[in-house]
Amino acid sequence: MSSEFDIIQDYFNWQQTAASVRVGVGDDAAVLDLTAKQGQELIISVDTFIEGVHFPKNAPVEAIGHKALAVNLSDLAAMGAEPAWFTLAITLPESNQQWLKAFSLGLKKLADQHNIVLIGGDTTRGSLSITIQVMGFVTAGEALLRSTAKPNDKIYVSGYLGDAAIGLALIQARLKADMLSQTANTFCRNALNFPYPQNTLSKIIRPYATACLDISDGLLQDLTHILKASNVSARLDSDKIPLSSHALELGYDTALPYALSGGDDYQLLFTVPPENEAKLLKRIADADESISCIGTIGVNNDDKIRDSSGNLISTTGYQHFYGE
For Mg ion, the binding residues (CB under 5 A) are 122
Q: Which of ligand ADP, Mg ion, none is residue 295 near (CB under 5 to 8 Å by kind)? A: none
12 touches ligand ADP by CB under 6 A? yes
Hey, which bits of 60-153 come out as E strands? 82-92, 117-125, 129-139
178 touches ligand ADP by CB under 6 A? no
Report, in Å, the least distance between residue 124 CB and ligand ADP: 8
Nearer to ligand ADP, 123 or 244 (CB): 123
6 touches ligand ADP by CB under 6 A? no
Rounded CA separation 162/188 (Å): 9
Contacting ligand ADP (CB under 6 A), which of 121, 162, 197, 298?
121
Which of 301, 302, 303, 305 is CA-nearest to residue 313? 305
- Contacts of residue 320, defined as CB under 8 A and 6 or more positions apart, other chains included, come to 165, 168, 262, 263, 264
Nearer to ligand ADP, 88 or 259 (CB): 88
Report, in Å, the least distance between residue 159 CB and ligand ADP: 30
Amino acid identity, position 237: D
Q: Which residues pair with 129 in a beta bridge?
A: 50, 91
Of the listed pieces 42-50, 66-74, 115-123, 160-168, which binds ligand ADP according to CB under 6 A?
A: 115-123
CA separation, residue 309 to residues 155, 236, 257, 271, 306 (Å): 17, 10, 19, 21, 8
Nearer to ligand ADP, 103 or 270 (CB): 103
Report, in Å, the least distance between residue 122 CB and Mg ion: 4
Report, in Å, the least distance between residue 3 CB and Mg ion: 13
**C-beta of residue 293 within 8 angstroms of C-beta of residue 235:** no
Contacting ligand ADP (CB under 6 A), which of 90, 128, 155, 165?
90
Element of type H or E holding 22: strand 21-23
Number of H helices, E strands in the chain: 9, 12
Nearer to ligand ADP, 94 or 122 (CB): 122
Binding site for ligand ADP (CB under 6 A): 4, 8, 12, 25-28, 88, 90, 118, 120-123
